[in-house]
Each structure stands twice: as C-alpha cells, then as structure tokens.
Structure 1
C-alpha cells in the first residue's frame, strides 16, 4: 500500500519472485485483481502434482506457482512474436495472459484425482471455463476476449495454440517447473529458447528451423517426465489409492453412513455431480474445496468404523501404499483369482472386502500426436511437421501410444 494525497491506494503493479524465472511482473491492474480473487487464490491450496511428493519429496509446488509461471512465459512469447513483426495489441496481450493464467482454475483437490472420484464426466478444462465465465460477470465483461481465445473461437488461431497445443505455454512451464521441484533433470527444457524460436505462418504457430533441436529435446523430456515422474509406479499407486478412498467415502455416504468432513466435502460426497448437475451452487462449493479439506477428512477416516475406508485411509496417511505391478499386456483371470486367494488366506481379509484392496486399471501416454503437429518453418519458408523435418528417428516412435496395465494390491505379501 502507498499514500497519495492522504488517500490509501493499492499498488497493483506488483513484482513476484519465482524460483524458476526470477522476477515476474504483474502487467496491469485487471490481472492483479484477478489474481487477488478468491477463486484464483484457491490455487495456492491445490498441489500441482497430486500425490507425487510421496515419491519426490520436493514436489510440493501448487497450481498457483504454475499459473503465475505461465503468465510470465506468455508475456515473453508476446514480446518474441512482436519482435518478428507479428502485430499483437495490448488488449490481445492482456487476454492471452488472462487465458493462460486461468487455464487450470478447474482443477480440484490433488489436481486430477477429483476428476475420477468426487465429480464425474466433467473435465477440469470445462470447470475452468465455468470459472472464467463467472469471473467475466464480476468484471463486467473484461474477460470476454480471453474466453474467446480459450475456447478457440478467436480468428487468430495461433492465440489458442499458445494456450493449448503440443507446444503450448502450459507445457513449457510445467515441464521445467516439475523438473525443478522433483529434481529430475531430464525434464529441464529450454523454455526461453523455444519461445525465442516461435513465429507465425498462415495464422498458425510455428517454430523456426534453427530451434528444431530444442523441440526434439522438449519431446524427449516430456516422454521421460511422464514415465519417470507423472506415471511413476509409486505415484500411480498413491493416486489410485486416493481415488479409491474418495469413491469408498462417496459410496458410504450414499448409503446413509455418516462420513466426517466439512460442509464443502460433504456436499460432493452426498451428491452425484456430473456435467448437467454442475450448477452455480456447485461451482461455488467447488471453489471452496482444496487439498486441505480432503487430507484432513482422510486423517479422520483412519478411525472410521468402516473397515475398508479406515484401512485405505491409514495406508495413504502413513505412506503404506499398495504394491503396484505394471505390464504391457492385460492381467489374466488366473492371475486375479490367485491374487484374491492370497489376500484372503495370508492377510485374513474377508471375502466381501477383497475387491476393495485389489485394483486393476491401465495408463496410456502418447508423447507426440500427428493429429495436431508441431510445425517447423524451414529456412526456405516451407512449413513441415517436426516428424518430417527432424532426422531424429525416435520421433516416429514417440508418436505411437504406449499403454501399460497395472494392478495394485497390499504389499505385505508377494505374488509369484
């Protein structure tokens, strides 16, 4: 705060200190007011990487960190494009910064876990859009252009590509940030170099040919980060366990069993929330739900009378996670039957609870999709797909989807 002529006025042109980029500036008062809004401040209480800190202890950064970093990189991208005579107005720059700042607003507690347990059939991107529209009402239409860009309806296609594509600002920040906080150096991409190489041809975002090796490094880093961090088997076990706990709590609540938790969490446990039922009231409740609510409830569930809920809750609180086994092929019925028999015989689990402690599922990852190609601008002015422009044969391999099947089960017995 500072004083002018006896009146108190807030200095809205703040500078933040980010551990990745150093000093990050808030460009104008509108963006400052959006950051100050309670919807956005909630992101301070939403972990960027869910339960990954159970594997990488440093991974405690939040969606707030990520959003601020994205805003910073968007400012740099606009500057880079302007230096190449791409006309971007001040209004468009503000809209781009708002769109990327709010792109993850719809994430629930522990990021992706709530998408598969407490709410159903509505992705975080859709909830982000609902938040943006609500904020647009409060800010008298000041977010209209940002929403148009976010939805991909603005005439300048490359604006949306900066928000959402295979080489967007979102990925440029989260790979570098997650690499930093986990200590996994393989994910440390050169975001500055990639942004400096951005250009526009025929209304599409392209990367100049001299940046091709940076793009290759980006794609390889993304692959390594997915299998070494995001889909690390212990991270996968922890998130699967978290989802199973929330599903169990929700199932019990529907059956009339009393489940401890604050009013906000109780709302989502007691109601079936899907896309059609996601009302303004639901959005308001969602804006009040964060990691702290869920973790606090799980701590209390450790002593719940329900055997399954209490056992699963203790596993995650005390980090006694389920063992996980990954395979390239689906597990056979013979394997499943053998596993269930051992759970009953060696651990003494009642037959009725067996299915609650054994989880079969699968994960998939495709590092590069030819459907939405990263385009390289050659020195001769031609535009090519990175796969054709690159002499790195692995890029063709990276465009193939990889599917892995996994099984989670209590770890104090082995399966041969």
Structure 2
C-alpha cells in the first residue's frame, strides 16, 4: 500500500530519503527502529573524530534509500522480480536493528551477536514483527532470511550483503562525512547507473570499473584511517575493560553504590528480548557517569578515563615476542598495575577485497564486471589496482597502557626505566 503523499527525510549524504510505502513508514515509527537513534554508528569514534555522532538510525535510512534507487533502476530487467521490491526495502531498513550499545565491544564481552538479535526482533513479539506481518504471515521470516543471507534469491541478498552492497556504500560515505575525512568518497551515482541484475548477484558494466576501483580503495583507506584508528581502539579497550570489571565485581558479590540493574541479565547470560531492547548508549553512559564515584579503584578509574577522554597510550608491539610480553607483565605487576586491565594487546586486520575461493569458510562472492560481449569477468582480473590488494589481509598490533600511571613511578625506578625501554622499542 502506498502513502497518500510521499514522505521525505533530509539527509546530508543522499540529500533526500524518499518513502512512498506505508510499510516502510510504519517500520520507521516502531519503537525498536527508533531505538537506533540512541546507538551511534561508529561506537567510540566520536572520541577521535568529534563529528562522528551519527546514529544507526540515519545509516539504516541511508541503506534503504540506496536500495530504493537500485531497484528503481532494475525495473524492466529480466532477472529482476518486482515482487521482491518490498522485501528488499524492508530488509535494507532493518538490517542493523539488532545492534546494541557500542556494538562490537559490547558483543565481545557478553558473547552476543547483533545479527542473531536482529532476527529475534524481526520474528519476536515486537512492533516490527507486527508491522511486517501485515504484508503476509511469512513476510517477517523472508526479511530475516535476507539479512541472514539464507534467502533463496541470491540477487536480493547480494544487494544488502556482498563486497559491493548498499550497506557499505552508505557507511563509507556517511562515516567519511561525519568524521570529516576525504577517504570515503566515491562516485556512487556512477556505480548505481552501471549496476545490472543477474540471477545470482548484481554485476557492474565494464565501463564502470574505475568507479568500483575508487570504491574499493575508499574502503581500504577508511578501515585504516578511521575504523582502526589507534585512539578509537584505545577507547574501545577501556570500554571493554569497564564491562569486564563490572561483570567480575557482580560475580564476586561486590556492593555497588549504583547497582547495574540493566546488566543483570547479561551477567547471568539469560537475556530476554525485552532486556536487550532496554539497553542503549544513553543508559550505558549514565552508568559510566555514576561509576566514576565507585569504591572499586579500577572501575572508578576506567570510567573516569572513558568519560573524560583520558585514554590509554599505545605502542607498536610484535605479539611473537612472548619473552618480552611476559617481562612487561611482570614489570607492571611490580609497579602495582593490574595487567588484566592496564596492559592490553589489541590487533586489527582487514581484507579489503577477495576473489572467489571455492569451499572456504565464509567465502566472499567477488565483484563481477559485465563485458561488452556479455561475458562476466571477476574484478581483480581486469583491474591492476584491485589485483594488487586482492586476498591480502593486513594486520596491525598495538599495546595499550596508562602512560600517566607509568609516569607516576619514581624517576630513578629500574622498573620504570625498563618498562619505557620495552614500550619505546
């Protein structure tokens, strides 16, 4: 069913987001989708790039808008089934609805998976489910299958999840815009114009290859300049350690000045959908604010660091050097620093583009170019730029520590001197 009048959202990246379908308008209005306004798209990156305050809500609208433009262009092509239109739009809008506060750090500590929670929200006792069911009884299941990459029509899945999909095309541009960097920009309009539907996936006309090269390189740069920025990683390390400390204190019967009631279900590993949906970043930050006055010295210190941006410093470190790692841990213990919280090795790795590797776990469907003669050619076989980074995982290791606490040690301390020797390489 169509709205009597098209609704329009102003958007800094796409200029406008157009909504014509009652289903999409009603989904946007659900409390589960509105919750995404209170979950940042880039987690702790706002502590590095002060403009990065944008939410999962506006990213989700952006992905929906890109999908809407793609399928408008697909009209009339033989491999495009118009009956899949609403399914694509709903899946695009809801693909991130299961994200928790500070998503990946939160997931790591409590062994959660946002994709699993997305499915629960779509299929559970929620307003989202109620709206989806108005289309048909099996429609919620179909939407969940598209997001879970198990839906039978692989073309539909590829639009939302592949090596060139609406999700990535939105977050690269949106994250570049809000962080103020220039790396994430590429000619999306050109890519959309040369995108064609096939039975298995969307492919790109050969004439659009340079726009796709630009997109791949944008992604490569954004990961190393923004997503894996060492200051952001430092904030994530502290965030993770706060959750870990609170969980540990709870398990040992510690008496909190301000009880973490919103986290009880997570500590007990018995989380209901209602428990999950109650949590957002405003709730988490409220607790961090209160815990700055806790009796426990470690929790108090970590929360003060996070809230006031007194982050850990970092140093390059090779994890292969186990003897030095053990020595450093012993030195920290002698200095009175708990190595579970104040000495952290963190690694980041990214595979910017991968060609087809049959049978490999988590195999990636490559990007195909449609040649003038109708043949499909895998991107890295035609592009020297993409070939140069294909299948190559880049990994970076850093050590995070509280420099201020090291500096507080006496200047003539052998422990301090040795710690600094190791950290400075």
TM-score of the superposition, structure 1-length normalised? 0.88
The one of 341, 364, 370 equivalent to 2:355 is 370
Secondary structure, in 3 states, of the residue corresponding to 1:185? coil
Partner of 2:87: 95
Residue in structure 2 matched with residue 3 of structure 1 by the alignment? none
CA distance in 1, matches of 2:294, 2:343: 20
Deviations 1:363-407 (A, max 9, x none): 211111223211111111111111102132x53324211122221
Look up the SS of the partner of 1:224 in the other structure. helix
Q: Secondary structure at the match of 1:405?
A: strand
- 1:136-194: CA deviations, max 9, x gaps? 64233343432333333443211100111111110000000000000111111222221
Preserved contact between residue 237 and residue 322 of structure 1 (Cα < 8 Å): yes
The answer for unaligned runs of 5 or more in structure 2 is 357-364, 407-419
Match of 2:263 in 1: 265
Q: Paired residues, what number?
A: 390
Mapped pair 1:410 → 2:402: yes
How far apart, in 2, do the equivalents of 1:25 and 1:333 lie?
55
Shift of 1:92: 1.5
Query: CA offsets, 1:235-269, max 9 Å, x none?
Result: 1111111011111111111112134256323432x
Once the two structures are superposed, residues 253-303 of structure 1 have per-residue CA deviations (whole angstroms, 9 ceiling, x without a partner) of 1112134256323432x312xxxx55xxx1111111000111111111111
CA distance 1:325–1:395, shift in 2 (3 Å): farther
Among candidates 4, 11, 15, match of residue 22 of structure 1: 15
Contact 2:159 2:201 in 1 (8 A): no
Given candidates 167, 178, 195, the residue that maps to 2:192 is 195
- Counterpart of 1:349? 336
Kindly indicate whether residue 313 of structure 2 is the aligned counterpart of residue 291 of structure 1: no
**1:168 aligned onto 2:168:** no
The answer to whether the 8 A contact 2:196-2:203 is kept is yes
Bigger shift: 197-206 or 297-306? 197-206
Work out the CA distance in 1 between the residues paired with 2:343 and 2:5. 52
List gaps (5 residues or longer) in structure 1. 1-9
**Paired residue secondary structure (1:26):** strand
Change (3 A) 1:82 1:232: same
The Cα of 1:217 is off from its aligned counterpart by: 0.8
User: Contact 2:52–2:179 (CA<8 Å) still a contact in 1?
Assistant: yes
For 1:349, what is the secondary structure of its paired residue? coil
Q: Per the alignment, in what secondary structure is the counterpart of residue 400 of structure 1?
A: coil
Cα drift, residue 201 of structure 1: 2.8
In structure 2, the residue matched to 1:335 is 324
Does structure 2 retain, via aligned residues, the 8 Å contact 1:331–1:405?
Answer: no
Distance change >3 Å, CA 15–CA 261, structure 1 → 2: farther
Q: How does 1:301-320 map to 2 (within 5 A)?
A: 301-320=291-310
